[in-house]
Amino acid sequence: MFLQWGNGQDDVRAGEMGWDYCPRCEDETPTSLLVRYHFGYVYFVFSCITRFEYFLKCDICGYASAIDAAVAKPHVERLDIPFMRRYGCLMGLGLMVLGFTCLILITRK
């Protein structure tokens, strides 16, 4: 049986952080909170998030610098992470339990 698995990462804008100094623009610019999440998957469908990283991103030039999670978490408004990327591992586990239950009920006579 062929088992396909891997990992990936994606970025999500999680809210505005006001104005801050940007070293690339060399000026005060509007900034956003950017959350990078890493995930692992099986068959590209059954995935789960493994970790988060937080960045302060300049809205003008796109320069991003890492910030501490304790500073960033209170400012997170909403994370638009797809349902199957966030809870896909639970769906896979549910399908396995359902399959084993059906197998037991069918073979039981």
**pLDDT for position 52:** 94
Q: Is 109's pLDDT higher than 80?
A: no
**pLDDT for position 22:** 92
* R_g of the chain computed on alpha carbons: 20
| 26 and 11 Cβ atoms separated by less than 8 Å | no
Integer angstrom CA distances of residue 102 from 34, 37, 97, 107: 44, 35, 9, 9
DSSP one-letter code for 22: E
**Cα 31 to chain centroid, rounded:** 20
Any idea what the Cα angle at residue 51 is, between residues 42 and 37, rounded to 5°?
80
The mean pLDDT of 91-102, rounded to a whole number, is 91
**pLDDT for position 42:** 86
Task: State pTM to two decimals.
Answer: 0.78
What percent of the chain is predicted at pLDDT more than 90? 61
Question: Taking all residues of the chain, what is their mean pLDDT, rounded to a whole number?
Answer: 90
